[in-house]
Amino acid sequence: MWTVVYIAPNRPLAEMIKELLENEGVLTMLRPLGVPHMGDSANVEILVPEAEVEEAQEILNQVIGRS
C-alpha cells in the first residue's frame, strides 16, 4: 500500500523530492491533486510504500527541516 509522506505545493518541487528519495533508495510515486488545468502549479502528493514511510520521513526531515 502506498502512503502519502509529503504534499508539495507544485510539480517541480515534487519532482525534486522524488529524485532525492529515489537517490536514497526509496521507491516513490507522485499523484497530482486538484484540477488538471492547474498544470505544474497544482499540489502534488508524494507517496512511498508503507514499509518505507519511516525512512522517507527521516530523509525529508533532514532536508526540509533545514529550510
CATH value at residue 35 = 3.30.70.1530
Q: pTM for the complete prediction?
A: 0.88
Dihedral of CA atoms 66, 59, 9, 31 in degrees, nearest 10, equals: 180
- Distance from chain centroid for Cα 22: 10
Q: What is the pLDDT of residues 45-56, one digit of tens each?
A: 999 999 999 999
Q: What is the pLDDT of residues 27-48, one digit of tens each?
A: 999 999 977 767 778 899 999 9
pLDDT > 80? residue 4: yes
Q: Which contacts qualify for 28-34: CB closer than 8 Å, 24 or more apart?
A: 28/56, 29/2, 33/7
42 Cβ partners below 8 Å, 6+ apart? 10, 11, 32, 33, 34, 35, 36
Please give the residue range of the domain that contains residue 38. 2-64
Count structural domains, the chain.
1
How much of the chain exceeds pLDDT 90, in percent?
Answer: 79
